[in-house]
């Protein structure tokens, strides 16, 4: 790790550089899911879930499905269905050690995002799991989040990145190869690149059950 010479070590130093937030930015945080937030969640097909273990080691994991896949229980509680994955269960293992989570919800084409912070637990209540079934596939686990903070996040990052602009999207031939990265990182010598591509596609076909978007 480089030996950095100028490190910010206090809030005073930080504020001298950044300044202070406006009243609009300071006061936008609420502690309940109002109707506007519920409407946002109903249109969101994707979120990033941030967790940390008891030692503070962090992880961010994507979750996605048809818009509205996150179930709103009430104005303080939401449920995220756990769909089949690679069985690492990084987020859930962290939640067992440290319940604090951060969520960021995205809607394609909308540059503002919705952020929710709260405490999570893993639930198996069948009556709630069945509400999040896709076809005949009922999740075996859901992540229940009790909300502590909720607020809209401005569009600056998505505007700078032009994330939703197709004109910035690269041709697939120019993109990094996930299969090659897996082969190089996992160092599983008895698997060829072609076999990894095949395994990935087979996993996607088996574990991704698509629900028609509204």
Which tens digits make up the pLDDT trace of 103-139? 999 999 999 999 999 999 999 999 999 999 998 899 9
| Fold of the domain built from segment(s) 11-161 | Pnp Oxidase; Chain A (2.30.110)
Q: Which long-range contacts (CB under 8 A, 24 or more apart) does 57-62 make?
A: 59/90, 59/91, 59/94, 61/90, 61/91
Structure confidence at residue 211 as a pLDDT band (50, 70, 90):
low
Answer yes or no: are the C-beta atoms of 102 and 50 closer than 8 Å: yes
Is pTM, for the whole model, over 0.85? yes
pLDDT tops 80 at residue 142: yes
pLDDT of residue 178: 86
pLDDT of residue 202: 84
pLDDT of residue 118: 98
Structure confidence at residue 61 as a pLDDT band (50, 70, 90):
very high
User: Phi, psi at residue 211, to the nearest 5°?
Assistant: -110, 135
Q: How far apart are CA 123 and CA 88, in angstroms?
A: 18
Structure tokens at 71: 């179930």
Q: How far apart are CA 142 and CA 122, in angstroms?
A: 6
**Within a 13 Å sphere around the CA of 167, how many CA atoms are in the beta-carbon half?**
1
Answer yes or no: are the C-beta atoms of 55 and 45 closer than 8 Å: no
In terms of pLDDT, which residue wins out, 192 or 72? 72
Mind listing the pLDDT tens digit for each residue in 87-107? Answer: 899 999 999 999 999 999 999
CATH 2.30.110.10 range(s) for the chain read: 11-161
178 strand-pairing partners: none
Sheet holding 142-153, edge to edge: 58-64, 46-52, 100-106, 113-123, 142-153, 77-81, 71-74
Taking residues 7-26, what's their average pLDDT?
A: 95
Mind listing the pLDDT tens digit for each residue in 154-186? Answer: 999 999 999 999 999 999 889 999 888 888 888
Kindly report the number of other CB atoms within 10 A of residue 83's CB atom.
Answer: 18
Q: How far apart are CA 41 and CA 62, in angstroms?
A: 15
């Amino acid at each position: 790790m480089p030996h950095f010479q100028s490190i910010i070590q206090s809030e005073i130093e930080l504020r001298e550089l950044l300044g202070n937030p406006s009243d609009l930015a300071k006061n936008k945080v609420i502690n309940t899911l109002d109707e506007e937030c519920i409407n946002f969640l109903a249109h969101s097909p994707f979120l990033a879930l941030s967790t940390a273990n008891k030692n503070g080691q962090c992880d961010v994991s994507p979750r996605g499905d048809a818009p509205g896949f996150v179930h709103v229980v009430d104005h303080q509680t939401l449920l995220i269905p756990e769909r089949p994955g690679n069985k690492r269960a990084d987020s859930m293992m962290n939640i067992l050690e440290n319940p604090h989570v951060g969520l960021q919800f995205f809607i394609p084409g909308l540059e503002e995002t919705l952020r929710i912070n709260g405490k999570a637990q893993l639930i198996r209540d069948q009556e709630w799991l069945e509400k999040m079934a896709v076809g005949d596939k009922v999740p075996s686990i859901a992540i229940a989040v009790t909300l502590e903070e909720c607020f809209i996040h401005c569009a600056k990052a998505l505007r700078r990145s032009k994330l939703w602009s197709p004109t910035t999207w690269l041709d697939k031939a120019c993109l990094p190869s996930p299969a090659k990265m897996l082969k190089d990182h996992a160092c599983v010598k008895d698997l060829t690149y072609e076999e990894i591509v095949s395994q990935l596609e087979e996993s996607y076909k088996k574990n991704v059950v698509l629900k028609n978007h509204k």
